[in-house]
């Protein structure tokens, strides 16, 4: 499990471009089941992001 020191190191690696996150796709939360099935089938070339709120709105609006 990551602690504060690990997270700080990861953050620095991201900030300096030494670590990049490869996002395959962004899907709305309503399509989570379909997205999970796609991931289980091995069709991802990076990570999948579940969008829980509309862009520009807070999650609790």
What is the Cα–Cα distance from 18 to 45, expressed in whole angstroms? 19
Count of structural domains within the chain: 1
pLDDT in tens, the chain (61 residues): 678 999 999 999 999 999 998 999 999 999 999 988 988 998 888 889 999 877 666 655 5
Containing structural domain, residue 26: 21-61
In a domain, 4, yes or no: no
pLDDT, position 60: 56
In a domain, 10, yes or no: no
In a domain, 29, yes or no: yes
pLDDT, position 58: 62
pLDDT, position 59: 57
In a domain, 30, yes or no: yes
In a domain, 9, yes or no: no
């Amino acid at each position: 499990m990551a602690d504060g020191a690990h997270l700080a190191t990861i953050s620095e690696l991201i900030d300096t471009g030494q670590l990049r996150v490869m996002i395959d796709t962004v899907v709305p939360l309503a399509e989570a089941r379909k997205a999970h099935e796609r991931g289980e089938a091995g069709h991802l070339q990076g990570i999948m992001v579940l969008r829980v709120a509309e862009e520009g709105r807070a999650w609790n609006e």
